[in-house]
């Protein structure tokens, strides 16, 4: 039951992340996601069988310290964005910002209602933890994670073009590059990152 609930929360959090990208792009002048019917929390248009189901299920069932997954990317055309300097960065950061907002909202709910509504507070705590992990994980500056897009957009063109070529090479490698990154992350960064998430979770929720 707990595993199924965690999977459901992770899936909905991933979808909220992607929808936020679409809303940000729409607000900044690109209607592609809206015209494609992707500005919805209905899971069906967003589910990727591998990234939304298989990978999250394996991570949760194996009690992995990593909570990660992806939905079908919300389509957008960066050339439609009114702000060509920072538009891509704003669209990219919108996903993680949404997850972190949800983490703060539900984390504070858990903190203030743990005594009077323990079951609801426990559920809110799970939502907060999943979104906290997902939001911060996506800010890691490695493609295709959002943190890389933010860093690339902040760099001068002479450097950003090199980052863009590197991103294209990683994307061309498909899921292999992501698997290699997750392996390296698991062995090198997972433990301190997980401890950092636990620290922030305790600060927000008091749990």
Q: What is the pLDDT of residues 130-179, one digit of tens each?
A: 999 999 989 988 877 888 888 887 777 777 677 677 777 767 666 777 77
Res 57: pLDDT: 76
Residues whose CB is less than 8 angstroms from the CB of residue 135 and which lie 6 or more positions away in sequence, other chains included: 17, 95, 96, 97, 98, 99, 100, 103
Q: Does the pLDDT of residue 2 top 60, yes or no?
A: no
- Among 199, 179, 138, which Cα is nearest to 55's? 179
Q: What is the tens place of the pLDDT at every residue in 14-32?
A: 889 999 999 999 999 889 9
Q: What is the tens place of the pLDDT at every residue in 119-142?
A: 888 999 999 999 999 999 899 888
Band of residue 38 on the pLDDT scale cut at 50, 70, 90: confident
Q: Does the pLDDT of residue 100 top 60, yes or no?
A: yes
In this structure, what token pair is assigned to residue 46?
A: 């967003």
Res 156: pLDDT: 73
Q: Does the pLDDT of residue 40 top 50, yes or no?
A: yes
Q: Which residue has the tokens 């439609």?
A: 80
Q: What residue spans of 67-115 are helical by DSSP H?
A: 87-113
Res 116: pLDDT: 83
Q: What is the tens place of the pLDDT at every residue in 43-82?
A: 888 888 887 777 777 777 777 766 777 778 888 888 898 8
Residues whose CB is less than 8 angstroms from the CB of residue 25 and which lie 6 or more positions away in sequence, other chains included: 32, 33, 74, 76, 80, 81, 91
Q: Does the pLDDT of residue 108 top 90, yes or no?
A: yes
Number of domains the chain contains: 1
Q: Which residue has the tokens 């703060």?
A: 104
Res 1: pLDDT: 47
Average pLDDT estimate for 104-115: 90
Res 170: pLDDT: 67
Residues catalogued as catalytic: 18
Question: In whole angstroms, what separates CA 149 from the centre of its chain?
Answer: 13
Average pLDDT estimate for 190-203: 89
Range of the domain at 59: 2-205
- The Cα–Cα gap between 127 and 125 comes to 5
């Amino acid at each position: 039951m707990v595993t199924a609930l965690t999977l459901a929360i992770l899936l909905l959090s991933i979808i909220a992340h992607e929808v936020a990208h679409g809303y940000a792009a729409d607000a900044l002048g690109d209607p592609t996601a809206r015209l494609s019917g992707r500005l919805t929390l209905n899971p069906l248009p967003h589910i990727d069988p591998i990234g939304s189901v298989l990978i999250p299920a394996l991570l949760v069932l194996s009690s992995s310290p990593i909570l990660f997954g992806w939905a079908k990317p919300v389509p957008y055309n960066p050339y439609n964005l009114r702000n060509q300097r920072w538009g891509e960065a704003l669209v990219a950061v919108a996903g993680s910002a949404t997850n972190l907002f949800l983490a703060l909202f539900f984390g504070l709910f858990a903190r203030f209602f743990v005594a009077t509504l323990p079951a609801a507070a426990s559920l809110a705590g799970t939502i907060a933890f999943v979104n906290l992990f997902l939001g911060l994980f996506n800010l890691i500056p490695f493609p295709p994670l959002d943190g890389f897009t933010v860093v690339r957009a902040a760099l001068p063109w002479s450097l950003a073009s090199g980052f863009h070529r590197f991103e294209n090479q990683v994307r061309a490698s498909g899921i292999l590059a992501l698997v290699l990154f997750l392996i390296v992350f698991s062995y090198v960064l997972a433990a301190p990152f997980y401890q950092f998430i636990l620290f922030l979770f305790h600060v927000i929720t008091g749990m």
